[in-house]
Every structure is written in structure tokens, then in C-alpha cells.
Amino acid sequence: MMTMKLLLVAVELACLVSGIFSFGSETLSQLSFLENGVVSTRPSSSQPQPQPLMVDLTLIQGAHSKGAVCLDGTLPGYHLDRGFGSGADSWLVHLEGGGWCNTIRNCVYRKNTRRGSSKFMENQIPFTGILSNKPEENPDFFNWNRVKLRYCDGASFSGDGEDESAQLQFRGQKIWLAAMEELMSKGMQKANQALLSGCSAGGLASIIHCDEFRSLFPESSKVKCLSDAGFFLDAIDVSGGRTLRNLFGGVVQLQDVQKNLPKSCLNQLDPTSCFFPQNMIEHIETPLFLLNTAYDVWQVQASLAPPSADRLGSWNECKSNHANCSSSQIQFLQDFRNQMLSDIKDFSKSSQTGLFINSCFAHCQSERQETWFADDSPLIEDKPIAVAVGDWYFDREVVKAIDCAYPCDSSCHNLVFNFK
């Protein structure tokens, strides 16, 4: 049974990733860029790996009465592994990623997948990386209560509307609130330490909900937030357009996201601009750590050089493997890195913020064991990601780790895509 599930996941991954090349911007929001399973150029040790902990899905009973439902109206869900020992009263809440839906058509498609309906979610998922229960894999958070909140609304847990004719529920904000209420009732209200994290669209959500998360706990509790691969840039694509801004604009308008964006940002900028982390982070008061690659492959594939902006396919080889990029394409990517570093300049000045910006061609590094904490994990100044995050969370060190520009980092796990 497990082999069949793994096969199905692999097939889905291949279909989703190949969609980058098969479809135009209309379908960008369907892309998941699943956190695990993409080929790495630097395979991990050949030693047999321990089997990860498998954690059951729990549906939030009573969520219907709160209007907290997935796109198709089914109950939202989460996976919880209880903490123990010194971590019994510490909580890590991790928000799942998986793209967005920006049109009725895309959301209708999405509601027939695990990104829009709990009917299609796995009954069990592996807890690896920051969710692992093994100290040798997750040194600082292994014995915490660890939760993965499943993503089934298509707007980074921030929408609040519906479309009756298409039978679509845009209830991301209500899912967030119902999940927090449920977790508080299961012991999170007693947390003396808490960390809100997320990957990709979930990484964006961890920024959006960071201050809300802080407000759940007394001042005496240590509460911080981690955004992994969630720093999406409002960048110009290879054709001179703004593919990701168009996508985000559709999400914000369709799902009434503006209701749940920082009011202080909306007083200065339009709602779509306030959905971009570069404009949002200055309004977040809770300590926040940004874990991102300077050459995020999702943004390269779907924002900088999507098929709609690269109609002749001149970026296809470069997108599948950065080793195939021309000097002019590398320069375009260096400009993208420079924009990111410029956008976090003020953010990085605060003593309570943290940074780990490496020069890898990757996406989502906290959930994958090989990138979070392993013998050959990515390093900046000899420090792996798990140690950097732990040092920052526990105030052991100030962490402002910014890698030198590509191709300086030989520790990367660069993602390579095979579309043959």
C-alpha cells in the first residue's frame, strides 16, 4: 500500500512540475512544487536512511459551523505529533504550501485535488526535517508538539469569500482560526514556546499570520515565526511583464484577501502589493526569520520565465538545470538576487529578525531532511539551516546569514528537473 502511495505521489509530482512547461499563466496557480521528491544533483549519503515517522490526518470536527471549509466544502485537517520531555509545552505549527488559485477555473480544478479538498488528502504523511521526532535530524524541535496544517483554500490561509455558482468556498482565514482554536484546546494554550513556520505558499501564510499567532499567547511565552521559501518578489519577468503580480492580483481579488492583510500596509499600498512579503515584512512586529534561496526555483520557473513570458522556450534548458544557463541568463538571475537583498535590507537591521539566504537553486528547505539537517546539508559559514534557525529562535546568536553569489556555494542541493 505504501509503495502504491509513493508511486501516486511521484506521478502527481511529475504532472505538476511538467505543467510549468505545458500551460500558460492561467494554470500557474495549480502548480504545487511539492516540498519533497524532486531530483537533487547532490545525493545524500548512501547509508540506509531511517524510516520517517508517519502521522495521521485529523479533520477539524465542527469546522462547518464556523464556515471553515476547504474549496469544495469539506472539513480542513492537520497532522499532530505530541511533544514529550522538555518539549511537552512547546509547539511548532507548520503551514503547508502548494501554490494558489487565481481564477474560478483554476479553483474548480483545485477543489478536485488534495490542495482543495480533504477527500483527496493522504491519511498519513511523513514528518521529516523541521517536523522530525529524531534529535539527530531535528536537534532543537524534535520533542516539541509538531503540527502540519493542511492547505486547501488556495490563498495562503487568507481568503474570506465564496462563489456560489461555482460551488467554491474561499475560507482560508476561517480555516486558520478554526485550526488555532482546535490546537489551543489540545494544549497549545499552555505553550511556553511556540514557532509558526511554513513552506512556499505556507511560508507566505506564516508571514501574514505571524502577529495573529503571537496574539494567541501571553507575553511571557516565547513566540516567533519562520518563513521558508515564502519571500516571493514582485519582479519583472523575462518579457518585461509581471507574471506573479498578475497571479497574486487574481488571488487577492477573487478570494477577498485584502480583509486579512496588515491595515498599516493597506494604508500605504494597494492590496496586491500588500500580498507581497517585501511590502509586508516591515509591518510584522513578531520576530521573523526568512529562510530562502537567492535563486528560488519556483520563482524562476513560474514567475521569472514562465511559458507565457518565454514563448520561444529560450529559458527551458536553464530552468531545468541552472548549469545550462547562459551568461546573460545568469546575470538576469543575479539581478533577481540583488533585488531580494535590497528588499530585505531594512528588515535585516532589526536585532530580532533572522536570515538564511543561500545561493542554491532550490525551493522549501525546512521540510526536506537533506537540506534541513544532514551530513551534507547546505551551509553558510559552516552552519546548516537547522542550527541557524535554532540559534536564532533560542537567542544563542544573531543570525544574518547571506551567502555569496552563485557559483560560490558547493554545499547546495540544487534541484534538477527532467521533462523527457
Any idea which residues carry the catalytic annotation? 200, 296, 363
Nearest Cα residue to 112 out of 26, 6, 5, 12? 12
How far lies 23's CA from each of 107, 229, 232, 242, 375, in Å?
Answer: 16, 23, 21, 17, 38
Cα separation, 138 vs 50, whole angstroms: 13
Pairing outcome for strands 161-163 and 168-170: antiparallel
Strand 354-358 vs strand 288-293: parallel, antiparallel, or unpaired?
parallel
Residue type, 404: C
Biggest distance spanned by C-alpha atoms of the chain: 58
C-alpha cell at 330: 545568469
Three-state DSSP at 81 gives strand
**What spatial distance separates the first Cα and last Cα of the chain, rounded to whole Å?**
28
Give φ, ψ of 68 to 5 degrees: -95, 85
3 state SS of 360: coil
Phi and psi, residue 131, nearest 5°? -100, -5
Rounded Cα–Cα distance for residues 132 and 148 (Å): 11
E strand or H helix at 126, and its extent? strand 124-127
Neighbours of 354 (CB within 10 A): 25
- Residue 299: all three cell numbers together: 520563482
* DSSP-assigned letter for residue 76: P
343 CB-near residues (< 8 Å, 6+ apart): 231, 233, 278
Residue 177's closest CA among 68, 58, 64? 68
Q: How far apart are CA 114 and CA 97, in angstroms?
A: 11
> How far apart are alpha carbons 40 and 414 in whole angstroms?
6
